[in-house]
Amino acid sequence: MQTVKVALFSSEQDRSYPIYIGNALLEQVDLLLPHLPQKRVAIVTNTTVAPLYLDQFRRALERHGICSVAIILPDGEDHKNWQTLNLIFDALLEQRCERKTTLIALGGGVIGDLTGFAAATYLRGVPFIQIPTTLLAQVDSSVGGKTGINHPLGKNLIGAFYQPRMVLTDSATLTTLPDRELRAGIAEVIKYGLIRDADFFMWLEQNITGLITRNADILNKAICRSCEIKAEIVAADECEGGVRALLNLGHTFGHAIENAMGYGVWLHGEAVAAGTIMAANLSKQLEFINESDFERICSIFQKIGLPVSAPKLSPDDYLSLMKLDKKVEEGRIRFILLKRIGEAMMSHDIPASTLRETLLTCMANE
């Protein structure tokens, strides 16, 4: 087991928390005990994860004298909305859950975001713990305290920054993850190398086969390094006032794709992959990266089997959707670009003609 710390300090309190990463950690309830203010928890999961891990986890809790309430939600990005959030509130109220009742998110990114938002707002704030079961959630959404739901006009536009008490990442849960979702998660892992660590990106190029075939050692190393990078950035900028925005490489384009196609049609990691290619293309046109770097970026996504072309929409449609991005400031879209592999930057001074050229170049020719 490896431990990564998210260091969050303020003048009033230390809100730092650990991320435990390893194989077969789900039953190590002793790791959770110091973070539970009472021996009652509410486990939020979905119809896909519950049959796989819920009973096992509840039995482990019972052996330590912890009783649990199970809240099982429908699965899918299209359920990340007010209606599903209210199902959590309904269950918590019906079961008389209190301010010291910890909410535990057992599932992927949708479950983590919904549970975190519920925890931030139920009784004006209750503790919560993340137990991510998808690669994408393990390396990204479970860390850093971003919670929320989608709106018909845009992704993750309603939410709150609310940190978990801890994150328990059991890489053994990836054995049941569908291949498509595993590949989507690898897209977020690649992002960390591109924005912060050129050596890590090179290591990923050399170990792509091990990631795809679920080699436990390689997966754990990729998860750990991804979490280290995210923890460093979150500690420096918890509420995305500056450097944390760099974590959104590919997301401005990617969220537009998800919205245009309908939530759940493209997985988040698939949209981020295509969006990252678009951001890299824009970086190349602006002469920040060269053709060789661009080809390396395209190649690694292609080897995984992720999309490297965006769906065909009009440039105006893309621009309209991207203007709903959370990074828009004074009406201007702020883009995350690559100065080089291993270093990202933010820019809003993009010539309209250059942006349109990227949109036209990166769309599928179907």
* Rounded CA separation 333/252 (Å): 9
The amino acid occupying position 277 is I
Check the annotation: does 154 bind a ligand. Answer: no
Task: With H, G, I as helix, E, B as strand and everything else as coil, classify residue 127.
Answer: coil
Any catalytic annotation for residue 94? no
Check the annotation: does 348 bind a ligand. Answer: no
Check the annotation: does 303 bind a ligand. Answer: no
Active-site residue, from 12, 96, 124, 330? 124
Check the annotation: does 110 bind a ligand. Answer: yes
Any catalytic annotation for residue 151? no
Task: With H, G, I as helix, E, B as strand and everything else as coil, classify residue 311.
Answer: coil
Any catalytic annotation for residue 332? no
Strands, E assignment, the chain: 2-6, 17-22, 40-46, 67-73, 102-107, 128-132, 146-151, 154-161, 167-170, 335-340, 343-347
Any catalytic annotation for residue 287? no
Check the annotation: does 75 bind a ligand. Answer: yes
Which class for 45: exposed (0-12), middle (13-18), buried (19 or more C-beta within 10 A)? buried
Any catalytic annotation for residue 348? no
Active-site residue, from 221, 230, 284, 326? 230
Check the annotation: does 102 bind a ligand. Answer: no
CA angle 110, 102, 163 (to 5 degrees): 60
Any catalytic annotation for residue 205? no
Which class for 264: exposed (0-12), middle (13-18), buried (19 or more C-beta within 10 A)? middle
Active-site residue, from 40, 58, 191, 251? 251
Active-site residue, from 150, 156, 248, 259? 248
Active-site residue, from 58, 225, 268, 326? 268
Report the candidate in 172, 245, 168 with the shortest Cα–Cα distance to residue 3.
168
Check the annotation: does 111 bind a ligand. Answer: yes
Check the annotation: does 155 bind a ligand. Answer: yes
Any catalytic annotation for residue 255? yes
Any catalytic annotation for residue 230? yes
Any catalytic annotation for residue 248? yes
Check the annotation: does 76 bind a ligand. Answer: yes
* Rounded CA separation 187/169 (Å): 18
Any catalytic annotation for residue 268? yes
Active-site residue, from 40, 146, 183, 225? 146
Residues within the annotated binding site for NAD(+)?
75-80, 109-113, 133-134, 146, 155, 173-176
Residues within the annotated binding site for Zn(2+)?
188, 251, 268
The catalytic residues are: 124, 146, 188, 230, 240, 244, 248, 251, 255, 268
Residues within the annotated binding site?
75-80, 109-113, 133-134, 146, 155, 173-176, 188, 251, 268
